[in-house]
Structure 1
Amino acid sequence: MIHLDHVTKEFAPKRGLFDVSFTVEPGMVFGFIGPNGAGKSTAIRQLMGLIQADTGRATIGGFDCWNQSEEVKRLVGYLPGEINLPGDFTGEQVLQLMQKLHHSSPQRQQELLNRFPFETKTKIRKMSKGMKQKLALVGCFMKDAPVYLLDEPTSGLDPLMQEHFLDLIDIERQRGKAILMSSHHFPEMEKSCDRAALIKEGRIIVEADIHELVRSSRKQYTIEFGLEAEAEQFALQIGSQRLQKQVSFVTGHELTLNQIIHLLTAYDVRTIQSSADDLEHVFLHYYGEEESS
């Protein structure tokens, strides 16, 4: 449904998109992860037909995103990273305008307002960041489109509203929607995405099933020994650092976890602690590897 095929759009060296390809099928949530300036928003603008690729092709529903942008926009619910709405409009006026433009259902709008409640009679210029984000989310999803392009969708939302957003994403996935979402909020991406791509300086450095990404990351462990001498001996044995009775190490290099466990049977081990096995560690792991290579 969403397809980027070897797309390049260069603004400056290491700024833009460089030979980027990925596909998002119906019923899939695809996460785009990377720091500011990595190219996430550029890819989404490419799909919206807001910028033209130097080379390659972007399509949604089989329509060319640049040459057939009108057809593409009919299929897409778009949430930009920066919410710019007329300051003297009220939230109610903005939603009325969107309802007319998209011929959306009043019932759908009310369901979304129940999920993301805010004072609709407040003028945009008086709204907080969170209120503007809720307004934008309601406006985006009330279109009930087959495709959603979401750029930092939970920016400014409190934890409760973030959970409501994740519930909505799960519902839309089950309804067969194709969703591309960029975000810096790692727990949100891990909970909601089926696949993810890590992008740096305009290039995808890894793309995989979200759970495979997490499982394949190196894990850090800290072991506390009964005696400091044992900790020192074990640290020398595996070539790691020691702090008093504790030794920390990372699996995935010279020794596997099974090998470490076998070695530990000869020692008086008091505790073993592992680092959180989450997407943020994967992100730091891959970016660390890229910077050291």
Structure 2
Amino acid sequence: MIHLEHVTKEFAPKRGLFDVSFSVEPGMVFGFIGPNGAGKSTAIRQLMGLIRADSGHATIGGYDCWNQTEDVKRIVGYLPGEINLPGDFTGEQILHLMQKLHHSKPERQLELLERFPFETKTKIRKMSKGMKQKLALVGCFMKDAPVYLLDEPTSGLDPLMQERFLALIDEERQQGKAILMSSHHFPEMEKSCDRAALIKEGRLIIEADIHELVRSSRKQYTIEFGLGAHAEQFARQIGSERMQNQVSFVTTKQLTLNQVIRFLTEYDVRTIHSSADDLEHVFLHYYSEEESP
């Protein structure tokens, strides 16, 4: 449904997109993960036909994102990363305008306002960031489109609204929608995405099933020894540092867990604690690998 093929858009060295390819199929939530300036928003703007690629090809629903941008916009619900709406309009006026523009059902709007409630009669310029984000979410999803492009969708939302958003995303996925979601909020991506791509300086580092990404990460362990001397000796053995009777380390290809266990048979070990796998560890793992000489 969503396809980028070798798309390049260069603004400056290491700024833009460079030979980026990925696909999002119906019924899939695809996470686009990276820090600010990595190229996430550029990719989404390319898909929306807001900028033209230097090379490569992008389509949504078979429509060319640049040459058939009106057809693309007709089938896409778009949530930009920065919400810019007329300050003197009220939320009610904005939603009425969107409803007429997209021919959306009033029932859909009411249902979404129950999920993401805010004072619709407030003027945009008086709204908090969270209120603007809820207004944008309602406006985006009331279109009931087959494709959604969401740029930092939970920015400004409180934890309750974030959970409601994730529940909505799951419902939309089950209805066969194709969803591309950019974020650097790792827990929500891990909960909601089927696949993910990590991007740095406009280039994809890796793309994989979200659970495979987590499983492939390096894991951190902390071992508590009965004797400080044992902790010091073990730390020297694996090239790590100790803090009193504890030694922390990260498994690698050169230092596997099996090797560590063999070493530990020589010592008085009190506890072994492993950090929970999460997407943030994966992100840091691949970024640190990229930066290694």
**Do they fold alike, i.e. is TM over 0.5?**
yes
Amino acid at match of 2:285: H
Provide the residue aligned with 1:220 in structure 2. Answer: 220
After superposition, the C-alpha distances for 1:185-212 in whole angstroms (9 at most, x for unaligned) are 1101111111111111110011111111
Gaps of 5+ in 1: none
When normalised by structure 1's length, the TM-score is: 0.98
CA-CA distance at 1:285 after TM superposition: 1.1
- TM-score calculated relative to the size of structure 2: 0.98
Cα drift, residue 239 of structure 1:
2.6
Q: Secondary structure at the match of 2:156?
A: coil
Mapped to 2, the partners of 1:219 and 1:233 lie a distance apart of: 22
Residue aligning to 1:82: 82
Q: Name the residue aligned to 1:285.
A: 285
Work out the CA distance in 2 between the residues paired with 1:128 and 1:238: 51
> SS at the partner of 1:71?
helix
Deviations along 1:30-61, one digit per CA (max 9) or x if unpaired, are 01111111100000000000111110000000
Correspondence for 2:48 = 48
- Give the Cα separation in 2 of the matches to 1:230 and 1:95: 66
Identical amino acids, percent of aligned pairs: 87
Kindly state the Cα deviation for residue 277 of structure 1 after the two structures are TM-superposed.
1.3
Match for 1:288: what amino acid? S
Aligned to 1:128: 128
Whether 1:200 and 2:200 are equivalent positions in the alignment is yes
Of 279-288 and 158-167, the range deviating more from structure 2: 279-288
Q: For residues 239-280 of structure 1, give each alpha carbon's deviation from its aligned partner in whole angstroms, at most 9, with x where no partner exists.
A: 322222111111123121122223323322111122231111
Q: Which residue of 2 aligns with 1:102?
A: 102
Listed one character per residue, the Cα deviations across residues 126-173 of structure 1 (whole Å, up to 9, x for unaligned) are 100000000000000000000000000000000000000000000000
| Equivalent-residue separation in structure 2 for 1:110 and 1:197 (angstroms) | 34
Partners of 1:254 and 1:142 in 2: CA distance: 52
Q: Between Structure 1 and Structure 2, how many residues are aligned?
A: 293
Matches within 5 A, 1:124-273: 124-273=124-273
After TM superposition, list the pairs within 5 Å mapping 1:1-80 onto structure 2: 1-80=1-80
Amino acid at match of 1:255: L
Partner Cα distance (1:252, 1:209) in 2: 21
Distance in 1 of aligned mates of 2:233 and 2:128 = 57
| 3-state SS in 2 of match to 1:205 | strand
In 2, Cα distance between equivalents of 1:107 and 1:80? 24
